[in-house]
């Protein structure tokens, strides 16, 4: 699909499987993802992806990984997690067990700027709010990641404040249950 072809159809999410991990490794090493997902120093090896992204291991940390699909084509990665108690300096003040955090990326640079990211985020938020226990969805893009910030705004998030995370400065954005 070239940049000129607008992708149509719904974006759906399916749970990540171990068979997806080599594909995810490839995606996590693409320059447009590396720029905002850890930087050059954090490029993961295949062994690191196999170790850290196995669905069973992520579940132990209350992380749910997904592959975003457009029809039968995988187009990106998404994950949601329980914010409260996520550890390693993340969301230490959070006391609501219903808050979920999200992260996602589109795999193919030629699909950026077509609204797919917004559709992916909306699909993820809809899936999370289908659970009545979920009270709020939050995300934390880097202040310079204007594309992500605009995507979240189009998907219904509002900017709350600038924060400092273990990964550095971020724009704290939220969406509450409709």
Question: The tokens 């030629």 sit on which residue?
Answer: 110
Per-residue pLDDT of the chain (178 residues; tens, 9 = 90+): 444 455 677 899 999 999 999 888 888 888 777 666 666 667 777 888 887 877 777 667 788 999 999 989 999 999 999 999 887 878 888 999 999 999 988 887 777 777 888 999 999 999 999 999 999 999 999 898 898 899 999 999 999 999 988 888 999 999 998 7
SS (H, E, C) 101-165: EEEEEECCHHHCCCCHHHHHHHHHHHHHHCCCCCCEEEECCCCCCHHHHHHHHHCCCEEEEEEEE
| pTM for this model (two decimals) | 0.85
The yes or no reply on domain 11-176 and CATH 3.40.630.30 is: yes
Q: Where are the domains of the chain?
A: 11-176
In this prediction, residue 4 carries a pLDDT of 41
């Amino acid at each position: 699909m070239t940049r000129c072809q607008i992708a149509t159809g719904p974006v759906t999410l399916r749970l990540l499987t171990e068979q997806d991990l080599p594909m995810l490794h490839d995606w996590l090493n693409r320059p447009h993802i590396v720029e905002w997902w850890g930087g050059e120093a954090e490029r993961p090896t295949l062994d690191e992806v196999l170790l850290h992204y196995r669905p069973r291991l992520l579940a132990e940390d209350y992380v749910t990984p997904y592959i975003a699909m457009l029809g039968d084509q995988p187009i990106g990665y998404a994950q949601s997690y329980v914010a409260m108690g996520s550890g390693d300096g993340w969301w230490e003040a959070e006391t609501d067990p219903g808050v979920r955090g999200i992260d996602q990326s589109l795999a193919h640079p030629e699909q950026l700027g077509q609204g797919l990211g917004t559709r992916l985020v909306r699909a993820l938020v809809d899936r999370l709010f289908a659970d009545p226990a979920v009270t709020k969805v939050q995300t934390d893009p880097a202040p310079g990641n204007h594309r992500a910030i605009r995507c979240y705004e189009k998907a219904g998030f509002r900017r709350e404040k600038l924060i400092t995370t273990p990964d550095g400065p971020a724009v704290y954005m939220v969406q509450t249950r409709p």
